[in-house]
Amino acid sequence: MRIAFLTGAGMSAESGVPTFRDALTGLWSRYDAMTLATEDAFRRDPALVWGWYRWRAAMVRRARPNAGHFGIAEFVRSGHAVEVVTQNVDDLHERGGMREAIHLHGRLFASRCLDCGATREPDPIVDGLDAIVDGVRETPPACDACGGPFRPGVVWFGEALPEDAWASAVAVLGRCELLVVVGTSGLVHPAASLPRLASTRGTRVIEINPVDSAVSPLAHECLRMPAGAGIRILLERYA
Ligand code: OAD
């Protein structure tokens, strides 16, 4: 069967990566993630925003894929055609065994110059990452080509999604025979409009989320539990 998984921050919660709408801690406790994830915030205070993303990147580096990530890869081994569309900027789907995932909101480990888009090898966001625990303000490195500041490779609020990722996601949602939506509040558009592309075609939509979300009304079935447990149930049913 052709199965699409559309995942959000709740997918990585059991790996210890906080969701977007969790309260922040430490240096960041006075901020809301939404106010840090914009180009305006970066231009106003680059060291604050670069430091925040370096802290997030360090956390992701230390995190391990959870039973949910591994479970999705198990669907592939059991012969299903599986495609993953994620709003997450971590690499836990790939480390959990998926050859590729469509990253609608970019990737943490793909920083580039804010002004000219140049990249650098190795990616400066990983420099000394293992030593970062609580996170500190940190001036972003300067671009070798134009001197502009490096920014994380994620999509900020107010920015367009990467065109190729969006086109691929629309195609995936247009051809799947089962859609599983995991751990997203379904509040951030345009990603939040994707489940409807499947449901209007009559495709079965299953949601996995411990609580009600904006996706719930169009889901045919809601598994009210964490990602790992929900995916295990679906594996028993379909694999
Ligand atoms: P949110 O933080 O908005 O929502 C996380 C969802 O995961 C909530 O509905 C939780 O109930 C659910 N959840 C929590 N723990 C879970 C678990 N163990 N298993 C399953 N579900 C769980 O995250 P997203 O919906 O991904 O965008 O947020 C969408 C976008 O908003 C993010 O990609 C990011 C953010 O701001 C950008 O940065 C552009």
How is residue 48 written in tokens?
């604050």
Same-domain pairing of 97 and 129: no
Q: Which residues line ligand 1 (CB under 6 A)?
A: 8-10, 13-14, 19-21, 37, 87, 105, 154-155, 157, 182-185, 187-188, 208-211, 213, 226-227
The domain that holds 131 is classified in CATH as 3.30.1600.10
In the reported structure, the alpha carbon of residue 9 is separated from the centroid of ligand 1 by a whole-number distance in angstroms of 4
What's the domain count of the chain?
2
pLDDT in tens, 147-192: 999 999 999 999 999 999 999 999 999 999 999 999 999 999 999 9
Cis geometry, peptide bond prior to residue 18 (ω within 30 degrees of 0)? no
d(C-alpha 8, C-alpha 89), whole Å: 10
pLDDT tens sequence for the chain (239 residues): 999 999 999 999 999 988 877 767 766 777 887 788 999 999 999 999 999 999 999 999 999 999 999 999 999 999 999 999 999 999 999 999 999 999 999 999 999 999 999 999 999 999 999 999 888 899 999 999 999 999 999 999 999 999 999 999 999 999 999 999 999 999 999 999 999 999 999 999 999 999 999 999 999 999 999 999 999 999 999 98
Same-domain pairing of 112 and 214: no
Same-domain pairing of 143 and 44: yes
Cis geometry, peptide bond prior to residue 190 (ω within 30 degrees of 0)? yes
Instruction: Outline where DSSP puts E strands in the chain.
Output: 2-7, 81-86, 102-103, 112-113, 150-151, 178-182, 204-208, 221-223
Q: Which residue range is the domain that position 166 belongs to? A: 1-16+65-105+161-239
The domain that holds 7 is classified in CATH as 3.40.50.1220
State yes or no: is 105 an active-site residue: yes
Contact assessment for residue 84 and residue 194, using Cβ atoms and an 8 Å cutoff: no
pTM score of the predicted model: 0.95
Same-domain pairing of 115 and 203: no
**Which residue among 69, 93, 103, 105 is the active-site one?**
105
Same-domain pairing of 4 and 98: yes
